[in-house]
Amino acid sequence: MSIANPHYEALKRTYGRLHRLTHLESMASWDQAANMPPGGNQARADALTEMAGLLHRMRTDPMLQAQLSGAEAEQLDEAQRANLREMSREWRRSNALPEALVERRSQATSRCEHAWRSQRPANDWAGFLPNLQEVLAVAREEARLLAERSGLGLYDAMMDQYEPGMTSATAARVFGELRTWLPGLIRAVGERQARETVVPAVGPFPLPAQRALCERVMKLLDFDFSAGRLDVSTHPFSGGVPEDVRLTTRFYEDDFLPSLMGTVHETGHGRYEQNLPRDLLGQPVALARSMAIHESQSLAFEMQLGSHPGFARLLSPLVSEAFGAQPAFEPANLHKLLTRVKPSLIRVEADEVTYPAHVILRFEIERALIEGEAEAADIPAMWDERMRDLLGQDTRGNYKDGPMQDVHWPTGAFGYFPCYSLGAMYAAQWFAAMRREMPALDEQIAAGNLSPVFDWLKRNIWQQASRWTTDELALRASGETLNPAHFRAHLTQRYLS
Amino acid sequence: MSIANPHYEALKRTYGRLHRLTHLESMASWDQAANMPPGGNQARADALTEMAGLLHRMRTDPMLQAQLSGAEAEQLDEAQRANLREMSREWRRSNALPEALVERRSQATSRCEHAWRSQRPANDWAGFLPNLQEVLAVAREEARLLAERSGLGLYDAMMDQYEPGMTSATAARVFGELRTWLPGLIRAVGERQARETVVPAVGPFPLPAQRALCERVMKLLDFDFSAGRLDVSTHPFSGGVPEDVRLTTRFYEDDFLPSLMGTVHETGHGRYEQNLPRDLLGQPVALARSMAIHESQSLAFEMQLGSHPGFARLLSPLVSEAFGAQPAFEPANLHKLLTRVKPSLIRVEADEVTYPAHVILRFEIERALIEGEAEAADIPAMWDERMRDLLGQDTRGNYKDGPMQDVHWPTGAFGYFPCYSLGAMYAAQWFAAMRREMPALDEQIAAGNLSPVFDWLKRNIWQQASRWTTDELALRASGETLNPAHFRAHLTQRYLS
């Protein structure tokens, strides 16, 4: 028998090889954040740069173009055709950038991210700025080349890497609409909560007990520890590979909620990766759909589920077991602690009501940076102005809790931030769809039966991977494309009803 | 100006790239042993296999042969010429093996080593055997090809990978001479020690305290924690890269000496790597000379220094600080505990007097395996026979403390074991040379001044890297090539004087 679809099969082999080599890259990046002593950084940056160049050469091998066109004419089934679509997208993106730029980006982001890890606690903006300027220079060049190839705008071309099909016009419209009702909602929730009595949790909360609690809650959320770990890093993230997911968190002795809810968030990312379909694993079609969809999983876990009143009932005994019983840990009070709305400085620790304000701020600043309307040195002033407008916070001189708080810009990930709030909107949309299908969902959560939630996500999102475009995926899962009305309804229902 | 030595410079670039890519391979291998959850193993094995194939293609690029001959005719200084010699050696070794065999070896050893980690505690020889048979089949094919290319014997060709220039005839002669006096020495030491009173240490020894003690002793030994770490694995090893050394140990709650002395051993390896010369780092000439020389560093630390009566004085307060004061921790008694001679089952926990017997046993078995005179299924019987003869131990049915105790065979490292005892001999030779240069050395060690030892090793071994052959290195450092008489004199002086 002759080989059917020789072009497609050749592409499949190449993408399989890329998957196996990026495994080593992913693990080295995780290790860099979770384990690596500082003296190892230059060698690590050099090794990752070498690998980035090598992968780039594989992704831009001239042979691929002929194979991609050849495969278009072959007899492919629907999954193969979707895989070919994703391969072509990958190919267009990689071929827009010359190897020298890819290596320069790897060097610049490794250096900036590594230095940031000690500059951030030292509030050292002056030390951070030159590294960030280089990262921004590379990102602008990247945007220019991506835009040239795709016909998209500069910032749109950057966003397209994380959320294919999303434009800054759409993002601006969605966030613009959000701006019309969010400040009012924050005020209304603030007034309502000011009248409530909440018992604060009394620390300290020893780190080993926090760690054990986080792992216990990951088990409650069905994280598969035979194919993943929890470790510690400066900035929590979900890394590794689908077969071996590496989550990180960070601990504060005076408050257990950041590590706990950060872990619940990363567990959402982790379960998506652990449940991607295995039959085409390593192929582009078997990767997570997009970053907004990825964040819709982390926020489905952290916000929809983690801050659900029923979930507080499940957490309550585990928290008491970790730190000893306290009045603060009673389910109703714990739920209040988990749903406090309070304008604050740190995005990753923000409640779900004020969170979108953090994203709007970053979206506006990074769009201006990429489009050349602002420079890296302008960031602190722009930051402070928006924090004042949106959340009434003064951030002057406080860089570490201001523009140095996130890993995204040091690593050159401009265009990523909108995905968080788009993800929050999708997460609300998924839960609205679940409730239409399963009217008793909230009672089941409160009874500790989380499998209807996980089964729905597995069937509709995780196992679908990149088989469909984001719009098609949303339509199949929930009967409609992105509809921010569900997010507004969710916040109103949870915080004002 | 035109480029001087274009062939040499091209080779240098290639070996630099190899160094940067093997960084990722080293870290992934360390992670596999120290962190990886079991479910990640297939993906890791696939990734390491892909990388092994890729590196093999780079190492066997036909261009290298022309560059190596071209460089021979270029104007090179002594260091460059030594680098070229090491490149040629590397090239000959790599070109002896086809890519398919390299990939098969990577798959077979990853599978065997991973399964061994759970089969060993389960004493599951039957489960282990088929994996080991495949590893042995690959190793025999490797030996055949290496021998064909080099004109060496089958086992010699395997040893040559770890200890260039060493032959099984030499090893057989050295170990044969050892056999003539070692059993008598073991008996004499046993009789002498039977008359001594030793206070046993009283456990349990909590693991966090053991870990802290190990790290404290690593600091005493000048390990650079800004460029390395200590972690836990089933089988202790020194991994990572010279810029970021990853040591591992293992803990037993009822005895702190195995983790402590294992850590001292690995610290010797680690300091060698951390102190390799930086000016040509990544080039073959800047790598550690050989595995016998590497083991001469770990055993210089563990046996020459770690079991020195003066070193017990330095350890004593640290051990008391870790576990609380006990009569057992008094310096003289601690030194007795550190120098107990007792035939036992486990090589890595053997004292320095009985240790060579473990190596002789493995040397005889693995030489027979590689030369086709024995099969993997014969190992338990051969093992038991030699353990009886050499150390009077019965190992029937106890595979986990018998042939399954070491990681070497599961990972295909046949030909490595002789390096341990050759290393012990070199270590004794280095300390004899130090004492000739510095007659007050032993008093300095007892006074806590270890820098004469470290300075000597740094100057004579670490900074010399692969600049000289092993024989030249030994001659320059100590005035003579390998001379086992120093090892015998050391044991007699320490245990019978």
Chain segment A177-221, per-residue pLDDT in tens: 998 999 899 999 999 999 999 999 999 999 999 999 999 999 999
Q: Which residues in chain B have their CB less than 8 angstroms from residue A106's CB?
A: none
State how far Cα B61 lies from the chain centre: 30
Give start and end residues of each alpha helix (H) in B198-346: 207-220, 257-274, 291-299, 309-323, 331-338
Q: How far apart are the CA of B441 and the nearest CA of chain A, in angstroms?
A: 32
Domain ranges of chain A: 6-153
Nearest to A50 among B17, B224, B243 (CB): B17
Measuring CA to CA, how many Å separate A330 from each of A320, A326, A333? 9, 7, 5
CA-CA-CA-CA dihedral for B473, B478, B482, B484, to nearest 10: -160
Mutate to test the interface with A, among B243, B281, B283 (most CBs of A within 10 A): B243
- Which of B416, B480, B351 lies closest to B160 in space, CA to CA? B416
> For A38-55, how does the pLDDT look when each residue is reduced to its tens digit (9 = 90+)?
999 999 999 999 999 999
Nearest to A28 among B27, B35, B43 (CB): B27
Q: How far apart are the CA of B472 and the nearest CA of chain A, in angstroms?
A: 31
- Cβ <8 Å between B54 and A224: no
User: Which of these is catalytic: A266, A273, A352, A366?
Assistant: A266
**pTM, full prediction:** 0.90
How do strand A238-241 and strand B238-241 relate by DSSP bridges? unpaired
HSE of A397 in the Cβ direction (CA atoms, 13 Å)?
Answer: 0
DSSP B146-190: HHHHH---HHHHHHHHHSTT--HHHHHHHHHHHHHHHHHHHHHHH
Q: Which residues in chain A have their CB less than 8 angstroms from residue B24's CB?
A: 24-25, 27-28, 47-48, 51
- Between CA B423 and CA B427 the distance in angstroms is 6
Q: How far apart are the CA of A275 and the nearest CA of chain B, in angstroms?
A: 13
Question: What's the 3-state SS for chain A?
Answer: CCCCCHHHHHHHHHHHHHHHHHHHHHHHHHHHHHCCCHHHHHHHHHHHHHHHHHHHHHHCCHHHHHHHHHHHCCCCCHHHHHHHHHHHHHHHHHHCCCHHHHHHHHHHHHHHHHHHHHHCCCCCHHHHHHHHHHHHHHHHHHHHHHHHHHCCCHHHHHHHHHCCCCCHHHHHHHHHHHHHHHHHHHHHHHHHHHCCCCCCCCCCCCHHHHHHHHHHHHHHCCCCHHHEEEEECCCCCEEEECCEEEEEECCECCECHHHHHHHHHHHHHHHHHHCCCCCCCCCHHHCCCCHHHHHHHHHHHHHHHCCCHHHHHHHHHHHHHHHCCCHHHCHHHHHHHHCCCCCCCCHHHCCCCCHHHHHHHHHHHHHHHHCCCCCHHHHHHHHHHHHHHHHCCCCCCCCCCCCCCCCCCCCCCCCCCHHHHHHHHHHHHHHHHHHHHCCCHHHHHHCCCCHHHHHHHHHHCHHHCCCCCHHHHHHHHHCCCCCCHHHHHHHHHHHHC
* Tokens representing residue A32 in the block: 């860099």
Q: Amino acid identity of A451?
A: S
Tens place of pLDDT per residue across chain B (497 aa): 467 899 999 999 999 999 999 999 999 999 999 999 999 999 999 999 999 999 999 999 999 999 999 999 999 999 999 999 999 999 988 898 888 998 899 899 989 998 998 999 999 999 999 999 999 999 999 999 999 988 999 999 999 999 998 988 999 999 989 989 998 999 999 999 999 999 999 999 999 999 999 999 999 999 999 999 999 998 889 999 999 999 999 999 999 999 999 999 999 999 999 999 998 999 999 999 999 999 999 999 999 999 999 999 999 999 999 999 999 999 999 999 999 999 999 998 899 999 999 999 999 999 999 999 999 999 999 999 999 988 999 999 999 999 999 999 999 999 999 999 999 999 999 999 999 999 999 999 999 999 999 999 999 999 999 999 999 999 999 999 999 999 999 999 999 98
- Between CA A370 and CA A98 the distance in angstroms is 19
- Which of B113, B108, B96, B147 lies closest to B370 in space, CA to CA? B147
> For A271-316, how does the pLDDT look when each residue is reduced to its tens digit (9 = 90+)?
999 999 998 999 999 999 999 999 999 999 999 999 999 999 999 9
Q: A–B: how many Cβ contacts below 8 A? A: 104
Q: Is A55 part of the contact surface with chain B (CB cutoff 8 Å)?
A: no
Q: How far apart are the CA of B280 and the nearest CA of chain A, in angstroms?
A: 14
Nearest to A224 among B20, B39, B225 (CB): B39
Q: Is A35 part of the contact surface with chain B (CB cutoff 8 Å)?
A: yes
Asked if B247 and B231 touch (Cβ cutoff 8 Å), the reply is yes
In sequence order, the β-bridge partners of residue B248 are B231
What is the three-class DSSP state of B121? coil
Mutate to test the interface with B, among A14, A25, A31 (most CBs of B within 10 A): A31
- The answer to whether residue A366 is catalytic is no
Range A110-131 burial, b when 16+ CB lie within 10 A, else e: bbbbbbbbebbeebbbeebbeb
Q: How far apart are the CA of B46 and the nearest CA of chain A, in angstroms?
A: 6
Asked if B300 and B430 touch (Cβ cutoff 8 Å), the reply is yes
Residue whose structure tokens are 């001659």: B475
Q: How far apart are the CA of A466 and the nearest CA of chain B, in angstroms?
A: 21
Q: Is B93 part of the contact surface with chain A (CB cutoff 8 Å)?
A: no
Going by pLDDT thresholds of 50, 70 and 90, the confidence category of residue A2 is low
Query: Which CATH fold topology does B169-356+411-496 show?
Result: Neurolysin; domain 3 (1.10.1370)
- Between CA A336 and CA A194 the distance in angstroms is 12
The pLDDT score that the predictor gives to residue B2 is 62
How do strand B228-232 and strand A228-232 relate by DSSP bridges? unpaired
The pLDDT score that the predictor gives to residue B103 is 84
- Which of B416, B426, B421 lies closest to B359 in space, CA to CA? B421
- Cβ <8 Å between A225 and B46: no
Q: Which residues in chain B have their CB less than 8 angstroms from residue A15's CB?
A: none
The pLDDT score that the predictor gives to residue A102 is 86
* Tokens representing residue B29 in the block: 């291998």
Asked if B451 and B305 touch (Cβ cutoff 8 Å), the reply is no
Residue whose structure tokens are 């230095």: A115
In sequence order, the β-bridge partners of residue A252 are A255
- Cβ <8 Å between B40 and A225: no
Q: Is A181 part of the contact surface with chain B (CB cutoff 8 Å)?
A: no
> For B224-250, how does the pLDDT look when each residue is reduced to its tens digit (9 = 90+)?
999 999 999 988 899 999 999 999 999
- Which of A162, A153, A37 lies closest to A93 in space, CA to CA? A162
> For A448-469, how does the pLDDT look when each residue is reduced to its tens digit (9 = 90+)?
999 999 999 999 999 999 999 9
* Tokens representing residue B220 in the block: 């005493």
Q: Is A225 part of the contact surface with chain B (CB cutoff 8 Å)?
A: yes
- Which of B392, B378, B421 lies closest to B173 in space, CA to CA? B421
Q: Is B40 part of the contact surface with chain A (CB cutoff 8 Å)?
A: yes
User: What region does A96 belong to: left with phi over 0, alpha with psi -120 to 50, or beta?
Assistant: alpha
How many other CB atoms are there within 10 angstroms of residue A468's CB atom?
A: 17
B418-437 and B168-194 helices cross at what angle (nearest 10)? 70
* Tokens representing residue B76 in the block: 């090179």
- Cβ <8 Å between A49 and B20: yes
What is the three-class DSSP state of B222? coil
**Residues whose CB falls within 8 Å of the CB of residue B436, separated by 6 or more in sequence, listed in order:** none
DSSP B74-107: S---HHHHHHHHHHHHHHHHHHTS-HHHHHHHHH
- Which of B427, B408, B407 lies closest to B474 in space, CA to CA? B427
* Greater pLDDT, B349 or A432: A432
In sequence order, the β-bridge partners of residue A110 are none
Nearest to A227 among B39, B48, B224 (CB): B39
- Between CA B160 and CA B157 the distance in angstroms is 5
- Cβ <8 Å between B24 and A243: no
* Tokens representing residue A91 in the block: 């190919």
